[in-house]
Structure 1
């Protein structure tokens, strides 16, 4: 049975699955949820984009008790970007359950503000190991009632050197808990931490016949360094042609200065592009990802900081402007496309000195390396996104809800419902995707009319 209603789920979660358009369980959900709901520890291997967040999310929410206010679930993620996405997904899954409080704790945000958010214990905490451990050691986070620990993308956390922090965190947790460990790969180190932290786990490998290798078309172009930008424009123009309209793309460079250089070039050529790398402040990185996710940006140019944790369900194209340094990095890059059953294209630009590395990457994917001819077009890839992002200087602290903002936009704001995209609300501000052609007019109206009879500062992100 692959219907969520076939499981012993509380009615709110069955309704949530239906509201999210989850008609049937994915393989990872069908294989892991029965064991999770039965209270077993699970060691799960599943590809990125397979639906594992819903698997452990529905599992931990199913046994959640909103009264009293006690922290009952902890989800550890390797990066801030993934933690934000997991937190947002869990909030959406929990929407039909009244009064569920979730807090995201990651580096890059003030400790004091996070500590204040923990004064009333959240039911669910999602975060990165270092910041979670810091709050535990300071006594800000109380976990004596914890029921569920989730280690998401555990292999990546080990690669990033988090094992000592994870060990210390587990030392604060009740022994009588359920531990769910998900990993894309099962190296010996994963089995070691499973043996340390889990009790007789159910080992589940979720596979599907149309996995990433079948859904992603890989293309390799031979170029010189001087030819890269011209070929890149041809590749982007070809993607727009194939999609018959607006199509987003994620580009990877190995160096931060190359990210900025490629981003500037594309913007000068009429392609709406944003840059993402470690030199950016955390808030700026969050806003770049948000604009890409809500279609306020056509092209995201990034270092491998974005190779994990970026979840755009319908991303048709990934381009390695610089060939990945190793096979694992290449695998994670191309895994950003071909997600959730969609097909995708992964293009790699290879200089003559990278031929041997390209051969190894292709061999690891079971491919015979055939060099493709460059796309036959004029490289005119001018692409402007359909949406723009409004920033409202008010958030959850001001009791703003998505319904309040939507009502203001479709009322005094003068928009039709289809002109409004994603609405994301943080503690102090809200981000709203609206039709680009109407963004300035809507901004001006909201400044005058306000929301819930209150006036907020409103701007267009990036203007």
Structure 2
């Protein structure tokens, strides 16, 4: 039996069965280091990069500490964004299958507060949310944290970067001092150490490699005049031809302008930033995750919590203001042992940012040779097309119903159907491009669960 096998941990048989069903057989490095200390009830500072298995690292001990008969909030997980909160809550629900009748809810900004208040009135065991919205509920008196025994700060460095420190301090004051506090952060600046000193008791520090190796992620920098950034971006995409790519910009306006240029150049691109309505942000994430959109042009805040398992490349259209943010950005590619690609464009006035990144890594950032870039070919066309169905969870529509309507009545081969996402009032289904029109026609003229729904192709 491997030393990193989950079965070596003192876990209940029902939880081990659940882990096996989820294909959680071997612990990742951060899980192997963190879980035993967390199970022992110790406070923890865990430094690990994005995608290292952090949720299970704190989730397993968090769930085991709960007392299901006590229908009060006993665990609180703070995350920097709604997207990450949703991702963490979904993973906790998967892990919690071994324990019936556990309620896990998310409380985030960008959503109406009324339904959240209703959910809280019915009680919950675990709350996952953003500091701003959690603080709102505390002010309104709609959230009680006096029974919390586990507090998790996930991606704590980003929450501090986003200015959440006062909200976090206020939230912690509402939680009993006798608690377990688990702090997870990809980087470990002085502010994190200060936060730990104030709110943790003799924490155990664990760390896995947080600086990405050049062998795992191929990194290149390209000097460019600001007026030529857009053409160089298209040239890089034409040369490297990544199947999926996130282009990072430092401003919302830049996101829109770059996305517009890419679209006019024939690429399937979508913006993702804080000024977009939540509905539009959700749709962009769905299209990118299911392969219908090849490029996301995003700000750091909007891209937080992106759960893309096989991202081919990251492009820094604008270099970030800190080396830590650079690490966060490029850490989205090259996951799970795969090779990744990180390309950075920078102007004359950004040399100090390149220097800061090189000091962080302790080695030079390789300089790309512009003359070696091949003439760009036609843009890669997204493999999938997304159909939007005007019926969702509230209409009792399930993924199996859509798949059945497509493969049964419509005669589409199941291999042509990609991811199916069911939201409250709408559903998205990815179809391979060559079958999209046939699938659209059959769904428009056919039925799902015996009912007709409006269907359209999402552009």
1:291 to 284, 287, 309: 287
- Corresponding position: 1:431 with 2:433: no
**How far off its partner does 1:4 sit?**
1.3
Aligned to 2:26: 24
1:365 to 343, 358, 361: 361
Q: Which runs of 5+ in 1 are unaligned?
A: 241-245
Please give the per-residue CA displacement for 1:5-54, whole angstroms capped at 9, x wherever unaligned.
22223344434433444341111000111122222222211122211112
Aligned to 1:129: 131
Structure 1 range deviating more: 331-340 or 9-18: 9-18
Residue 324 of structure 1: SS of its match in structure 2? Answer: coil
**How far off its partner does 1:337 sit?**
1.5
- Equivalent pairs counted in the alignment come to 456
Aligned to 1:382: 379
Is the contact made by 1:239 and 1:317 (CA closer than 8 Å) also made in structure 2? no
**How far off its partner does 1:334 sit?**
1.6
Structure 1 range deviating more: 65-74 or 36-45: 65-74
Is the contact made by 1:259 and 1:276 (CA closer than 8 Å) also made in structure 2? yes
- Corresponding position: 1:263 with 2:256: no
Please give the per-residue CA displacement for 1:410-453, whole angstroms capped at 9, x wherever unaligned.
33353433333333333443333333333343344445544434
Is the contact made by 1:316 and 1:345 (CA closer than 8 Å) also made in structure 2? yes
In the superposition, the TM-score normalised over structure 1's length comes to 0.89
Is the contact made by 1:13 and 1:62 (CA closer than 8 Å) also made in structure 2? no
Aligned to 2:416: 419
Judged with a 3 Å threshold, the aligned counterparts in structure 2 of structure 1 residues 439 and 99 are, in CA distance, closer, same or farther, namely farther
Output the CA distance in 2 between the equivalents of 1:408 and 1:103.
32
Judged with a 3 Å threshold, the aligned counterparts in structure 2 of structure 1 residues 449 and 110 are, in CA distance, closer, same or farther, namely same
Aligned to 2:244: 248
Aligned to 1:243: none
Output the CA distance in 2 between the equivalents of 1:176 and 1:360.
40
Judged with a 3 Å threshold, the aligned counterparts in structure 2 of structure 1 residues 344 and 390 are, in CA distance, closer, same or farther, namely same
Output the CA distance in 1 between the equivalents of 2:97 and 2:389.
22
Aligned to 1:62: 64
Please give the per-residue CA displacement for 1:55-85, whole angstroms capped at 9, x wherever unaligned.
1122223344555543332210011222122
Residue 118 of structure 1: SS of its match in structure 2? Answer: helix
- Corresponding position: 1:156 with 2:158: yes
Q: Which runs of 5+ in 2 are unaligned?
A: none
Output the CA distance in 1 between the equivalents of 2:431 and 2:343.
31
Residue 271 of structure 2: SS of its match in structure 1? Answer: strand
Residue 411 of structure 1: SS of its match in structure 2? Answer: helix
**How far off its partner does 1:96 sit?**
5.6
Aligned to 2:95: 93
Is the contact made by 1:105 and 1:125 (CA closer than 8 Å) also made in structure 2? yes
Is the contact made by 1:234 and 1:381 (CA closer than 8 Å) also made in structure 2? no
Residue 383 of structure 1: SS of its match in structure 2? Answer: coil
Aligned to 2:232: 231
Aligned to 2:78: 76
- Corresponding position: 1:355 with 2:351: yes
Output the CA distance in 2 between the equivalents of 1:352 and 1:189.
31
Instruction: Please give the root-mean-square deviation of Cα atoms over the aligned residues, in Å.
Output: 2.7
Judged with a 3 Å threshold, the aligned counterparts in structure 2 of structure 1 residues 450 and 87 are, in CA distance, closer, same or farther, namely farther
Judged with a 3 Å threshold, the aligned counterparts in structure 2 of structure 1 residues 358 and 197 are, in CA distance, closer, same or farther, namely closer
